[in-house]
Amino acid sequence: MANDALPFRYEQHLVTDEDLLGWRVERAADGRILAVFGPCPNCGHLTRQNVEESVLTLDYAERAAGAGEATPAPLPPPTARMTRICDCACNVAHANGSAKPVMSCGSWWLVTIALDEGAVVPVRAATDASLLPALRAVQEVTTAEESRLRSSAEKWIAAVTALVGLFGLTGVVVGKDAFTGLSPWARGCAGGAALLAAAFAAAAITQSYRAAYGWPVVVDLGNDQLLTTWFAGRRTHLSQAAAQLRRGVRWALAALAALVVALGCIWFWPRTAPAGAFVEVTRADDSTVCGTLLDSTTERGLRIRRPNGTVETVGAAELGPVRIVNSCAGGTG
Ligand SMILES: [Zn+2]
Ligand SMILES: [Zn+2]
């Protein structure tokens, strides 16, 4: 090998099966493909390429099944092979003009790995150039994987907070006191509408957040068929995200309408009994009258409506202690 390594130059190297004859596949104990390695077809130095069998991406919707594709005769079918981009990483200094030497000759090429562990030629030259955009996308996603997940998670935290806050809001609208004195019909109307509002709002938030930030999923790219399918799905995700956003807005409007109905039931449904504290009046003979206080019709006396509807008048002469009570449990006096 020459002392002077080839100058660095970033370009695709069109490989042949012969170029990759010395290439081998590195597998985990369970047979999973970890990496491929062999001499760089351009500079001849040993290089190694890690292989990701799956990537973490953000799923925007269910993907349509990918269409089948014609298979070049000599290679295994797409489901039995895995194509990847190899970048020379020979770790040998290659001159780079006047700049600092680069630890790579800069060439990249496509390899097709046979998934079958018993394949005679494990690594071959790729013939399907149409995979290149998808392979570039894999590289992109792989390098940004962690930051994408993190930022997606951050956004979802806000979504979860919004969901929890929603229950607080419905709690205020349909608080315990809001039902005091309401007829069962009004309670049913308000409670049902508030429940619907919560459900609609949850759907709205989930849909719009999914549209905006996706749902983190691990996608299996273990063979070329799966890769093509994944890439086809990626390209349609924009229109799917738009549809999700539209659905999200509609759900939000429905939630708002349901909340308005719930509020209407609480505010405008006639109440059967006036809200207010009960009074318990003890007469001089120790008998008690409990109920709600009414306007007096005479100057010296209290009028009290018992819970059963009868109205009693307690004159000033027989008036004993008066207490404010929360309810009229117990005797009728
Ligand atoms: Zn090299
Ligand atoms: Zn090289």
Domain ranges of the chain: 11-135, 145-268, 278-325
Compute the distance from residue 176 Cα to the ligand 2 centre, in Å. 74
**Are 93 and 5 spatial neighbours (Cβ–Cβ below 8 Å)?**
yes
Number of Cβ atoms within 10 Å of the Cβ of 20: 23
Pick the closest to residue 219 from 62, 95, 98 (CA basis).
Answer: 62
Q: Look up the CATH number of domain 278-325.
A: 2.30.30.100
* Of 181 and 47, more confident: 47
Q: How confident is the model at residue 2 (pLDDT cuts 50, 70, 90)?
A: very low
What is the chain's percent helix, strand, coil content, to nearest 5? 40, 25, 35
pLDDT given for residue 9 in this prediction? 92
Tell me the residues surrounding ligand 2 (ion) with CB < 5 Å: 40, 42-43, 88, 90, 105
224-268 and 132-173 helices cross at what angle (nearest 10)? 20
Least confident of 37-41, 123-127, 239-243: 239-243
| Amino acid letter for position 60 | Y
Ligand in nearest proximity to the CA of 40: 2
Compute the distance from residue 21 Cα to the ligand 2 centre, in Å. 16
pLDDT surpassing 80 at residue 150: no
Compute the distance from residue 5 Cα to the ligand 2 centre, in Å. 9
Q: C-alpha 276: how far from its chain's center?
A: 46
CA distance 88 to 40: 6
What pTM value is reported for the model?
Answer: 0.56
Compute the distance from residue 96 Cα to the ligand 2 centre, in Å. 13
pLDDT surpassing 80 at residue 159: no
As a whole-number percent, the residues of the chain with pLDDT over 90 amount to 22
Instruction: Please give the structure tokens belonging to residue 298.
Output: 């005479």
Tell me the residues surrounding ligand 1 (ion) with CB < 5 Å: 43, 45, 90, 92, 105
pLDDT surpassing 80 at residue 181: no
79 Cβ contact list (under 8 Å, min separation 6)? 223, 224, 225, 226
The CA distances from residue 137 to 59, 96, 134, 231, 276, in Å, are 15, 28, 5, 8, 68
Q: Please name the residue ranges forming H helices in the chain.
A: 132-173, 184-213, 224-268
CA distance 294 to 309: 12
Number of residues written out for the chain:
333
Coil vs helix vs strand at 3: coil
